[in-house]
Amino acid sequence: MTRFSPFDLRRFAANQYNPIRVRDQVRNFTGHDEQEAVSRLPVSSRARAKEWPSSREDTPIFVYTGGFDQRRPALLQPREDRWEFLDGLQDRNRLDKGRFDSLLICRQIGESNLSAKRKARLMELGCSTILYGGHDLEVAVERIRAAGYRAIELCCIPGMAPHLAIGQSDAYYRDIRRRAEDHRLAIESLGASGNLDDGDRFLRILDAAASVGAPLVTTGPGGKPDNEESFMATVEKINALSAQAARRGVRLGIKPHVGNAVYNTDTAFRLMQMVDPRWVGINYDATHIWRSPQREVPEASVGRISRYIISLRIRDVKGRQAAIGPVENQVAGQGDMDLRAQADAFRKIQGLKYAILEIVGARDMGVDDVDSVLRRSFDYFQPLFE
């Protein structure tokens, strides 16, 4: 196993950083005490993969991304909320593309024995910008980060949430990416809604996702439920588009959706047997599974397809009718689902880093009312996922 070159606490102290504070934070975050190797990696403008110790090893590391005040190093007190857990190369590559004055990198030597409580903390909350569909992107990212969320689903949905346009210049996408970075928000995905029937437009969406650094594009499958011809046509479209997605290094997250060809656990499982799981996965939204004609209990049935889930959407819902209902009924705690049991099940899914709040129907709401929905949802979900 490749290891970092350890900088012991004396070396740390010589660099004028507070070694006790750093040691305590590493212990608090990882559940370990003296078993960490700690090093500081100075970066003038960008962190690059070749500069990372053990950057090609697909194992977890811990990184402090809060930045350091080089003018007053003796006063350094790293903030505990700026530690991040990077579980493999995809997360590291996201961080490689960020801008930092410096990074503090920690990695346990030997096998990990993180407690269940610490592992649960590693699933962070994010929010889809569809919640701010009636407001511009700057308002959305500012409010989402201020409420405590760490990631966004960046929507490019005309008429609902046009926060990203397709077919734009590289400079446009660099600016979008910079906005997210400035607010310390990861772009978890590009939200495309249902555009599979417009192949040319979807290809431009894939181009936009690659340009902005989104690792996946989320979309509904379209098609008709319980119709074999429609199901097979949907699979054919997904396979054709996933081949294009693979060329761009972007994955497709297909959401089982009420009234579509893929709408419940059985159809989602069947879909995954007919596609390339390297480039296609499930974007799981329990509220759609809950409202399926089979009246599933998501926390009981999710295990069958958990290995295919690559992104997660969270909210509440009242009733099992086809329509999701008003915004207030989607706020966590206002509906009928067992969100605690669902969170317990979701935290067991390997590779899931973010639980993304996705509430629709708020386009015509004032920003203060949307903020209330955002904050109340965070306050409810945070204890369930941390």
Q: Which helix (H) or strand (E) holds 87?
A: none
Q: Which CATH architecture has domain 123-385?
A: Alpha-Beta Barrel (3.20)
Within the chain, all domains assigned CATH 3.20.20.150 are found at: 123-385
**Which residue, chain included where needed, has tokens 């007053």?**
72
Across the range 189-193, mean pLDDT stands at: 93
Q: Which helix (H) or strand (E) holds 140?
A: helix 137-146
User: Given a cut of 80, is residue 37 above it in pLDDT?
Assistant: no
What's the distance, CA 270 to chain centroid?
A: 25
Backbone φ and ψ for 306, nearest 5 degrees, come out as -60, -35
Mind listing the pLDDT tens digit for each residue in 328-376? 999 999 999 999 999 999 999 988 999 999 999 999 999 999 999 999 9
Give which of 111, 124, 194 is closest to 381, Cα–Cα. Answer: 124
Give the whole-angstrom CA distance, residue 57 versus residue 315: 35
Q: Which two tokens stand for residue 134?
A: 């009636």
Highest-scoring range by mean pLDDT, 59-73, 74-88, 253-267: 253-267
Region class of 351: left (phi > 0), else alpha (psi between -120 and 50), else beta = left
CB 339, CB 332: distance < 8 Å? yes
Q: What is the pLDDT of residue 66?
A: 45
Q: Which two tokens stand for residue 290?
A: 């809950």
Dihedral, CA of residue 25, residue 29, residue 34 and residue 40, to nearest 10? -60
* 239 three-state secondary structure: helix
Give which of 350, 284, 359, 347 is closest to 317, Cα–Cα. Answer: 359
Across the range 83-104, mean pLDDT stands at: 43
pTM (whole model) above 0.85: no
Mind listing the pLDDT tens digit for each residue in 319-340? 999 999 999 999 999 999 999 9
**Which residue, chain included where needed, has tokens 């989607």?**
330
